[in-house]
Structure 1
Amino acid sequence: MERPSLRGVTAAVTSLLALAATSLVAGPAAADTGDAGPCALPRTEAHHSLGVDDWNNAYPRPDHPLDAVMVFLSFPDHRPAVTPAELAADHFPATTQFFRRASYGKFTLRPHPLRQWIRMPRPSDWYGMQRDWDSERRGAYLRDALGVADPKVDFSRFDIVYLVADPDAPGVDSDATKVVNFSRPLRIDGADLRRVVTVFEQHPPDRNVLAHETGHVLDLPDLYHRPSDGKGDWDTYVGDWDVMGSQFGLAPDFFGWHKWKLGWLEREQVICVQRSRVVTLEPIAAVPAPGASLGIRLAVIRTGEGSAVAIEARGATGNDRATCAEGVLLYRVRNETPSGGGPVDVIDTHPHSDACWARSVYAPLADAPLRVGETFSIPGAHARIEVVDRTPSGAWTVRIATGV
């Protein structure tokens, strides 16, 4: 197939100047995920809705290997001090390993880094890079980046696009790293390009930053709380729990609810609690031996048409090996709350204490999990959770009483 000319790509991006918007209203496309059970919240029109009853086909689902191209962009006002290979090594294989552990080996992220720098047409400080980026300058950056990259990249071969800027160029601001969603797909190389990851990280980068941004490409929401003045605490919703809250968290593995949405947990690993029962929960981050069963990883209590309480075990293993506390974690999920608005709230079962001030991103929630012998009544859920025991293999036995 004939590749479009540079001029054609530039014109197409110009016509989509709204592509600089950082949110996308999902279309009706969906894939049936089967009988997810009575505790599966339905997907809504909220940005990155945490409904799990079907899949939004505007996003690549990580139930098979996905290919990602890394394009390295330099600027005429700075000669790069590092090589593309060094920048690629900042993120890979670590990010691939993070997802392989999180998915229990079901998903492989395959990076394809270019070996050379591609020169942007304007100086780095012309683009005005920052977290709340002027839409015209951000649109110009994307237009220029895709324009100079297109002659060297067949975008139709890739599921994910990382645009990596020279970290030492004077205008580069690491706060500008984010996923940019196009208001409608850009047709390039015979394929639809719906979003790109703009990477402005320093060398070395923030921990797990690419795992966080790639989570957005997979339709996962931001779980942090952004203060209106930008000066308060960002981690009051979920603390250290889940990389979509903070890439610096001590227990960054994805919540079991996210793994359910992504297809890494299947129906037999999720228990819908409709009456009192005892369940044994394997730690959500524990990677089973080859051929071994995943066991039960998530218990869910439906609390409303669009809400639920999730119950899972967190232990010092896998992506959570640096966790501050082990135990049974409780959190609320809302399917109509958009990304950044608090779609997940961790329930603090120890509201009068905190832990790991020197390491935690939000110490009040660092000790949120219930420990063996502890009981907690969930406000508004008419349920009481008791952690009965921990098995020799590291699983947690939990008694869930409903209707209380």
Structure 2
Amino acid sequence: MITHLALAVALTLTPVPHRQAPLSQCALPGRTGWTDEGHDTDHRQFRKATGVIRAVMLFVDFPDAPASGSTQEYEDALTPAAGWLRTASNGRARLAITPVRTWYRMPSASTTYGFERGISYEQHQQYVRDAVAAADPEVDFSAYDIVYIVPPKNAAAVTFSPTYLYDPAAPGVIADGRPVRWSVTLGQDMWRWGYKVIDHETGHVFGLPDLYAFTGTDYHRFVGGWDLMGLISGPAPRYFGWHQWKLGWLDDDQVACAVSGHYRLGGPTRLVVVKTGETSAYAVEARTRTGLDDKACSNGVLIYRVDSSVATGEGPIKVMDARPDQAPAAGCHQLDDAAYAPGQVFTDEAAGVRISVTGEASVEVERLPIARNM
């Protein structure tokens, strides 16, 4: 049973010295064989998320959708993604985008690649192969990690922006003597999402799953607008602290593997993890209306459940709602006001965990007898 209680007495608790486990005990193993929340990311298939990430941006048009004008508008719209990622990664990921300012003609019509039908892996790979082949006489692809492929506005059939991930067991797309491991093929939804679609899709290159729901009617019922891997246009899109730790953007000494006791957030400790099972844990962090989250719908302590056995699009992270019975403000999703305020308490009796918010950036973690047959 999970409960959300507002207890004023939490403010008067005497802080209990905390007990911690080795941090390695809170690093969950991946169990899906694909993008997930595990820490054991296979870097043959996914790019490490630190250092300089070299990307080439190609502009392609089609026999049925020829481009008009220069590529400058497209470059201006998308390249700010590099600055956003640098800030979001605490300066540890530096996306260096090299635009090739010419339109390369694809050999097939825009309608033949299958975007309007969801596009298969084989169709997507062919799209990447055709774009790379068109540019290969002029571009040394061995100098780049990622290929961004941008269509013109009149290519209406190229509807959305999927990420192509290399399969180490298959030959894939070869250019300049090596495989093209990662590509983001932009679609017309880039004009809806803006440059942050690059940051979202590059998150998949790093091994992050989608946090929005693939089924149902409320696609943002798992995390609302709290992470770019959920709602790209969300009011608080900075990556979760869990993602920052997983990707190497937080140092281990900034993360606490909590057993019990009092923890302060936002100083030396940016993330508190309370493990609840082999592949599950609660993560706790402070979020405020500053920086990339300046439009956040609530301030306070964010509590969310992570399960590295849950597949992309099925809720590998779920935000706990501090105000489940309160309607959110206009323009905010139900979960966007989910941050806990001082005096509120989160309890998961089935997992034997209670987290009391004792200040704007401090919590008390308690282990409870695990309830049976709830």
Higher relative contact order (CA 8 A, sep 6+): 2
Which of 39-48 and 159-168 deviates more?
39-48
Q: Residue by residue, what CA displacement relative to the aligned partner does 1:162-190 show, whole Å, maximum 9, x if unpaired? A: 111112224332xx311122433433212
Residue of structure 2 equivalent to 1:288: none
Q: Does 1:313 align with 2:297?
A: no
Distance 1:136 1:203, change over 3 A: closer
1:46, 1:336 within 8 Å by CA — same for their partners in 2?
Answer: no
Identity of aligned residues (%): 38
Residue of structure 2 equivalent to 1:386: 356
The residue correspondences of 1:60-75 to structure 2 (distance < 5 A) are 60-75=47-62
- Whole-Å separation in 1 of the counterparts to 2:175 and 2:190: 30
Which of 341-350 and 303-312 deviates more?
341-350
SS of equivalent to 1:235: coil
The residue correspondences of 1:5-404 to structure 2 (distance < 5 A) are 36-53=23-40, 56-93=43-80, 95-130=81-116, 132-133=118-119, 137-173=123-159, 176-183=160-167, 184=170, 185-201=172-188, 204-207=191-194, 208-227=196-215, 232-275=217-260, 277-282=261-266, 295-356=268-329, 358-360=330-332, 363-390=333-360, 396-403=361-368
SS of equivalent to 1:65: strand
Distance 1:57 1:318, change over 3 A: farther
1:221, 1:340 within 8 Å by CA — same for their partners in 2?
Answer: yes
1:186, 1:193 within 8 Å by CA — same for their partners in 2?
Answer: yes
Write the letter of the residue equivalent to 1:359.
Answer: G
Q: Residue by residue, what CA displacement relative to the aligned partner does 1:76-123 show, whole Å, maximum 9, x if unpaired? A: 233424522210111112x11211111111111111111111111223
- Whole-Å separation in 2 of the counterparts to 1:151 and 1:170: 27
Report the count of equivalent residues.
Answer: 344
Displacement of 1:367 in angstroms is 1.4
Residue of structure 1 equivalent to 2:11: none
- Whole-Å separation in 2 of the counterparts to 1:131 and 1:324: 36
Unmatched tracts of structure 1, length 5 or more: 1-34, 283-293, 391-395
Q: Residue by residue, what CA displacement relative to the aligned partner does 1:305-325 show, whole Å, maximum 9, x if unpaired? A: 111111111111121111000
- Whole-Å separation in 2 of the counterparts to 1:111 and 1:271: 35
SS of equivalent to 1:143: helix
Displacement of 1:378 in angstroms is 2.8
- Whole-Å separation in 2 of the counterparts to 1:202 and 1:365: 24
Write the letter of the residue equivalent to 2:86.
Answer: R
Write the letter of the residue equivalent to 1:120.
Answer: M
Displacement of 1:326 in angstroms is 0.7
CA RMSD of aligned residues (A): 2.1
Write the letter of the residue equivalent to 1:51.
Answer: G
Q: TM (normalized to structure 1)? A: 0.80
SS of equivalent to 1:328: strand
- Whole-Å separation in 1 of the counterparts to 2:202 and 2:117: 18
Q: Residue by residue, what CA displacement relative to the aligned partner does 1:264-300 show, whole Å, maximum 9, x if unpaired? A: 111110011112x111111xxxxxxxxxxx6211001
- Whole-Å separation in 1 of the counterparts to 2:282 and 2:78: 34
Unmatched tracts of structure 2, length 5 or more: 1-21, 370-374
- Whole-Å separation in 1 of the counterparts to 2:44 and 2:129: 25
Q: Residue by residue, what CA displacement relative to the aligned partner does 1:346-379 show, whole Å, maximum 9, x if unpaired? A: 11122111313x322xx22111110122222134
- Whole-Å separation in 1 of the counterparts to 2:367 and 2:25: 16
SS of equivalent to 1:48: coil
Displacement of 1:192 in angstroms is 2.4
- Whole-Å separation in 1 of the counterparts to 2:251 and 2:65: 49
Write the letter of the residue equivalent to 1:237.
Answer: F
- Whole-Å separation in 2 of the counterparts to 1:196 and 1:153: 15
- Whole-Å separation in 1 of the counterparts to 2:293 and 2:354: 26
Write the letter of the residue equivalent to 1:251.
Answer: A
- Whole-Å separation in 1 of the counterparts to 2:229 and 2:157: 27
SS of equivalent to 2:180: strand
